[in-house]
Amino acid sequence: MPSQEFFPNKLKELSLKHAPEFNFSFFEAYLDKLTEKDYLLSKPNLQDKATSVFKFYSNENCQVFKEGNLVCSLEGMSDEPYYLPVPRKGDYRFKVVNDSTKKSKILNEGIEAVEEKNIEIKWKSRLSIKNPFEGNRKGCSITISALLLLAIVVIPFGLWKTSIGNSSPVQSSSYTSPTDTICTPVDLGLPSGTLWGDRNIGAKSPTDFGSLYAWGEIKEKEEYSIYSYVEQLKPSVKIVEAKHDAATTELGAEWKLPTEGQFKELITECRWIWKQIDEHNGYEIIGKNGHKLFLPAAGWIQSTGIEYRNQYGYYWTSERSNSSQFARSLQFPKNGKGIVGNGYLYVGRSIRAVYVNDAVAD
């Protein structure tokens, strides 16, 4: 039966008729259901029950084809892969087509028997931004001392003024700040009155990337995987507790992880402008009162490597998803406004705290 997208609105339910909905996570139960309803009349071959699975991910929307037939349509930046079971080990050939650019590439992938293999489809950025300090360090004749002297000469003394220690929110639109990791609340004039931290947790300035945390963990670590993640696996935990809130443990009781609603308010009530500041890419968030935040695109860390740095931003909320494997997360690419979606609990993501006091409603 074709997918729902194939039908006009009034006929979309037809896609669910005459067949049970497929779910690879419960594959054996699915087969039992087919047999029970007499859809599947042949007996399963128990001697050849094992199979292998390709798991497709992509950083941009694209379509995957095998032997000229559409396998799946992938949503860019999604944490949830598309599962493609294959009946045997061997070599497979796929063609992928980018939805936006219409560019295509061929993937030749081998797989072993009873193997789960990740296929990460990475499309090159259409806006290439090069770090001037990268790739030619041997030829650089400017010493650290000279750079410091240049900074002292060029930067006016007034820019080093700080509101640290001042109890009122930051009113300045400048991103200059001392090199510490203390957050200052910023008033963007939001209807809820929410005050946002001026920088990421662990960042030394408002434009710095900062630290990356798994959901419900309060320390950075060497490896971010399902095997190293144990704290918040209980499905009963729906809202991160204070002792597992990195914002609270790092900054104090007045600071917390934002809710999904607070991120959605940031999306709908503010202007978002993609910028590069201090060699870091990200979105400048401008409130209706003219005050600003900068959300750097720090990427994420899965296993031991940081991916998509300077291309995508991922920020945890305090709320768990309906699925026990995921929590809610702000996600944004450089070519589109942020959305709130699901993120695997064990993946390292950024945290931008909100300030809570008696004057601010929850």
pLDDT for residue 318 is more than 50: yes
pLDDT of residue 14: 74
By percentage, how much of the chain surpasses pLDDT 70?
70
pLDDT for residue 344 is more than 70: yes
State mean pLDDT over 66-70.
87
In the chain, list all ranges with CATH 2.60.40. 4-121
Q: How confident is the model at residue 171 (pLDDT cuts 50, 70, 90)?
A: very low
Mean pLDDT of the chain: 78
Q: How confident is the model at residue 78 (pLDDT cuts 50, 70, 90)?
A: confident
Q: How confident is the model at residue 89 (pLDDT cuts 50, 70, 90)?
A: confident
pLDDT of residue 48: 47
State mean pLDDT over 59-87.
87
Does the domain spanning 4-121 belong to CATH 2.60.40?
yes
pLDDT of residue 335: 72
Q: Are 115 and 52 spatial neighbours (Cβ–Cβ below 8 Å)?
A: yes
pLDDT for residue 236 is more than 50: yes
pLDDT of residue 100: 84
Give the three-state DSSP class for 242: helix
State mean pLDDT over 199-226.
93
pLDDT of residue 57: 92
Per-residue H/E/C for the chain: CCCHHHCCHHHHHHHHCCCCCCCHHHHHHHHHHHHHCCCCCCCCCHHHCCCEEEEEEECCCEEEEECCEEEEEECCCCCCCEEEEECCCEEEEEEEEECCCCCEEEEEEEECCCCEEEEEECCCCCCCCCCCCCCCHHHCCCCHHHHHHHHHHHCCHHHHCCCCCCCCCECCCCCCCCCCCCCCEEECCCCCCCEEECCCCCCCCCCCCCCCECCCCCCCCCCECCCCCCCCCCCCCCECCHHHCHHHHHHCCCEECCCHHHHHHHHHHCEEEEEEECCEEEEEEECCCCCEEEEECCCEEEECEEECCCCEEEEEEEEECCCCCEEEEEEEECCCCCEEEEEECCCEEECCCEECCCCCCC
pLDDT of residue 174: 56
Element (H, E) at 196: strand 195-197
pLDDT tens column, 241-259: 899 999 999 999 999 999 9
Q: How confident is the model at residue 296 (pLDDT cuts 50, 70, 90)?
A: very high
pTM: 0.55
